[in-house]
Amino acid sequence: MENGEYTKNFRDSIQVVLEHHFPRSEDGIVEKRIKINMNFPVITQEEVKTVMDDMDINKSPGPDGLTLGIIRELFFLDPAWFTELFDDCTRQGVFPDFWKIVKVLLIPKEGKDLTEVSAYRPICLLPTWGKVYDKIIAQRLLYELESKGKLHRNQFGFRKQRSTLTALDKFHNFIINTKAKKMITLALSLDISNAFNSVIWDDLINCLEEDGISVYLIDVIKDFLSNRRIYDDINNAEFKYSKGVPQGSCLGPVLWLLIADRLLRQMDEQENIMCTMFADDILIMSSGTVSYKFTESLVTPIKVVESWANK
């Protein structure tokens, strides 16, 4: 454990590792809404079918054991009822609690000290039915963010027509332009430890409201972020977590973009600096005429990153 002590048995060890990857925070509790929302684009049968066609039918199911194949059969049996269920959830701003129970498998990382909680990678198995609805909401949220121009041009992760190659192309162009001005380039790569698990849920809601996202989406996402639970198969127990973007979900990566976007906006204010991100990987590029001044020029940008990471 972090205090240098060791757990007494295997069950305790599992509990400690899970609590590391799925932390709790009183600041992260999102209050549920109480009113009905009638103003939203209805979910269509074609939308549901398209989402399911895009999902991997071979993925393992969540705690309920229902595979995508079973969910698809239910849909084709009565597509109107199936779609109306999602519409009712959206109308009431509800993401059902039993779709928020995560079954976790802990996979040891190669070459790591297995007495450390960070030496395990959690594989999250969510109920497939919930993942279909999750993906519908995630796609609608991403569409609004992109169409309203709310995502920074220098974020290359979790977005269509963007990849590590387009990020490298941006880096390459920065170097070329710097050389054309007879200047030199310094690149500083940063990785934020435990980034996805450290996000405060209230901050996500604030970002959605600041960006003018549709009320019906905010309402569903508020409920999506409430009463989330981990199913501990070893101890046959459940516990709540209330911090971080939900791993294994479709909404999780899109919600992370909101937090990352705030850093990129702040970095735009720095002189002779360009910052790009691929998910949680940060690359800060600086240009100058002499190398010994780079240390000085990066002091403020690094402080900006530290301040953002510690919020």
Distance between CA 273 and CA 301 in Å, rounded? 8
Domain-embedded: residue 278 = yes
Distance between CA 219 and CA 32 in Å, rounded? 8
Domain-embedded: residue 3 = no
Range 73-82 contact pairs with CB under 8 angstroms and sequence separation of 24 or more: 75/48, 75/49, 79/45, 79/48, 79/49, 80/45, 82/45, 82/48
Per-residue pLDDT tens over the stretch 129-185: 999 999 999 999 999 999 999 999 999 999 999 999 999 999 999 999 999 999 999
CA 183, chain centre distance (Å): 37
Domain-embedded: residue 123 = yes
What pLDDT is stored for residue 34 in this prediction? 52
What pLDDT is stored for residue 25 in this prediction? 67
Q: What is the mean pLDDT of residues 278-285?
A: 96
Domain-embedded: residue 4 = no
Q: How confident is the model at residue 3 (pLDDT cuts 50, 70, 90)?
A: low
Number of domains the chain contains: 1
Per-residue pLDDT tens over the stretch 136-150: 999 999 999 999 999
- pLDDT surpassing 80 at residue 5: no
Residue type, 103: K
Domain-embedded: residue 114 = yes
Q: Give the angle 225-228-233 at the CA atoms, nearest 5°.
A: 155
Residue 84 domain boundaries:
10-310
Helix (H) or strand (E) holding 121: strand 120-125
Domain-embedded: residue 34 = yes
Q: How confident is the model at residue 50 (pLDDT cuts 50, 70, 90)?
A: very high
Domain-embedded: residue 154 = yes
As a whole-number percent, the residues of the chain with pLDDT over 90 amount to 69
Q: What is the mean pLDDT of residues 4-22?
A: 72
Polymer length of the chain: 311
Two structure tokens written together for 53: 């066609």
Domain-embedded: residue 256 = yes
Range from 14-28, 43-57, 230-244 that averages highest in pLDDT: 43-57
